[in-house]
Structure 1
Amino acid sequence: MRIDIEDLHIGYAGRTVVAGAHLVAVEGEITGLVGPNGSGKSSLLRAVYRHLQPTAGRVLLGGTDLSELPPLQSARHVAALPQERGSDFELTVREVVAMGRTPYKRAFAGEDATDRDIVAKVLSDVGMDGCAGRRFTALSGGERQRVLLARAFAQDPDVLVLDEPTNHLDVRHQVELLALLRAQCRTTLVSLHDLNAAASVCDRLHVLHAGAVVASGTPRDVLTPELMADVFGVRAAVVDHPLTGDPLIAFDHRAPADAEAAMAVESRG
């Protein structure tokens, strides 16, 4: 199911954080949002999973304005893994994941065989099937991340919205999670700080800077040395990854592209 974001404006606390954003997440593809801290990525994603109300513009889900759909119906289509993640669940891992089945249940309805099969599968997919009986609060940050991703998968959505899903994960689990996203073949809108991960996993990228989309296209088209300097304030070379052939960004960690530009980027973050 395709996502179209049209002339989106978002503001709160007297400040505009997204200004006139236009972007598309094509059905079945992974669409990435990248940009410096404070560029509007999380706010834009919150509008897609209806945590924030835009001040102008609209989000279209399969051609239908998302704001016109009842919350229960939109929850059957869009699942989110936000940055602000609950840590106070006094529930088992299995119970947390089973919450993803809520949009399909009537009030007070119990689990059925389909629910149990889906919960078991998604726990296995994220490598947490051996922890189903553990308390969520007893898990590490990375384990919680994988459980909450399993909950989003259990929702069986058409669209996944993921805000920094690789946070708290070690390298192996980052690679496994990104491979799992590729295997899902769902419309996925994801924000990533790791530009090399974005170049590897995303079909298309949108670059946000100061609340505006400043570049869109394939990772190879978008992630150029010039953009690294202009948007992120760093010196970088873009080469071919020796194992995959994907664009690989090699950063100069000794000095920014321009000291004043780098300070400006940092102050906006």
Structure 2
Amino acid sequence: MRIAIEDLDVALSGRTIVSGVRLVAEDGEIAGLVGPNGSGKSTVLRTVYRYLRPHAGRVLVGGTDIRSLTAPEAARRVAALPQERGSDFELSVRAVVAMGRTPYKRAFAGDDPADRDIVAAALAGVGLAGAEKRRFSALSGGERQRVLLARALAQDPEVLVLDEPTNHLDVLHQVELLALLREQRRTTLLSLHDLNAAASLCDRLHVLHEGHVVASGPPRDVLTPELLADVFGVRAAIIDHPLTGDPLIAFDHRSPAAVPAPAPPRPAEAVTAER
């Protein structure tokens, strides 16, 4: 299902956070939002899962304005993994994931065998098969992250919205999560700080800077040394990943773009000639 954000403006406490944002994620596409801290990535995502109401513009999901849907209708179309993670659920892992089935139920209806199968499959998909009876509040940060992703998957949405989904995950689980999202081929809009993960995972990137989209397109076209210097303030070269062939950003950790590189040493002959 296609997502289209049209001319989005969001203001909070009288301050404009994003302005004139236009971006898309085509049906089955993984589209990434990247940009420095404070660029508006989370704000854009919050309008998609209806946590924030835009001041102007609209979010279309499958051609329908997301604000025109009832809460259950919207929840059947869009599932979210926000940055604000619940940490005090005194519930079992299974009960947390089963919350994802709520949009399909009447009030106070219990789980049926199909629900239980969906919950089990979602937990297996994030590597937590057999963890159903553990308490959510007793889990590590990375485990909680995977449980909340399982809850979003159990919602069986047409669109996934993920805000920094690799936070708190170790390297193995980051790699597994990215592989899972790739295999899903579900329309996905997500924000990532890890530009190399974004370049590997995403079909399309939208770069936000100071509340505006400044570049959009395939990662190889968008992530240029010039853009990385202008938007992120870093010096970098783009090379091919030796294992996957994806674009790989090699950062210069010694001389960021915001600090002029030192002049190269002058040849000894030139110094001698001036004496």
Flag whether TM exceeds 0.5 (same fold): yes
Q: Which residue of 2 aligns with 1:264?
A: none
Aligned-pair distance for 1:258? 2.0
Matched residue, 1:101: 101
Q: Does residue 189 of structure 1 match 2:197?
A: no
- Aligned-residue Cα RMSD (Å) equals 0.8
Runs (4 or more) in structure 1 with deviation over 6 Å come to none
Q: Which runs of 5+ in 1 are unaligned?
A: 261-269
- 1:126 aligns with 126
Give the distance between the partners of 2:126 and 2:62, measured in 1 at CA.
28
Counterpart in 2 of 1:176?
A: 176
* TM-score calculated relative to the size of structure 1: 0.96
Q: Output the CA distance in 1 between the equivalents of 2:258 and 2:52.
A: 35
**Displacement of 1:178 after TM fit?**
0.3
Amino acid at match of 1:75: A
Distance 2:6 2:257 in 1: 33
The alignment status of 1:12 with 2:5, answered yes or no, reads: no
Equivalent residue for 1:263? none
Report the equivalent of 2:67: 67
What is the number of equivalent residue pairs in this alignment? 260
- Residue segments in structure 2 that go unaligned for 5+ positions in a row: 261-275
| Map of 1:114 onto structure 2 | 114
Residue 209 of structure 1 is matched in structure 2 by 209
Q: How does 1:1-269 map to 2 (within 5 A)?
A: 1-259=1-259
Q: Distance in 1 between matches of 2:124 and 2:65?
A: 35
SS at structure 2 position matched to 1:180 = helix
* Residues 135-167 of structure 1: per-residue CA shift (max 9 Å, x gap): 000000000000000000000000000000000
How many Å separate the matches in 2 of 1:216 and 1:177? 24
Q: Deviations over 1:155-202 (max 9, x none)?
A: 000000000000000000000000000011100001000000000000
Per the alignment, in what secondary structure is the counterpart of residue 9 of structure 1?
strand
**1-structure distance, mates of 2:120, 2:64:** 33
For 1:137 and 1:228, the matched residues in 2 are separated by 39
The one-letter code of the counterpart of 1:91 is L
Secondary structure in 2 matching 1:215: strand
Give me the identity figure in percent: 77
Provide the secondary structure at the position in 2 that maps to 1:259.
coil
Query: 1:230 aligns to what SS in structure 2?
Result: helix
Report what 1:267 is aligned to. Answer: none
Give 1:259 shift. Answer: 3.2
Q: Which amino acid aligns with 1:178?
A: L
TM-score by structure 2 length?
A: 0.94
Look at both structures and tell me which one has the larger radius of gyration over its CA atoms. 2
AA partner of residue 102 (structure 1): T
- Provide, for residues 9-67 of structure 1, a one-character-per-residue CA deviation record: whole Å limited to 9, x for no partner: 01101211111000001110100000000000000000000000000000001111111
Give the superposition deviation at 1:131. Answer: 1.2
Work out the CA distance in 2 between the residues paired with 1:230 and 1:160.
30
Q: 1:19 aligns to what SS in structure 2?
A: strand
State how far apart, in whole Å, the 1-side matches of 2:258 and 2:137 are: 44
Deviation at 1:130, TM superposition (A): 2.0
User: Matches of 1:42 and 1:160 in 2, distance apart?
Assistant: 14
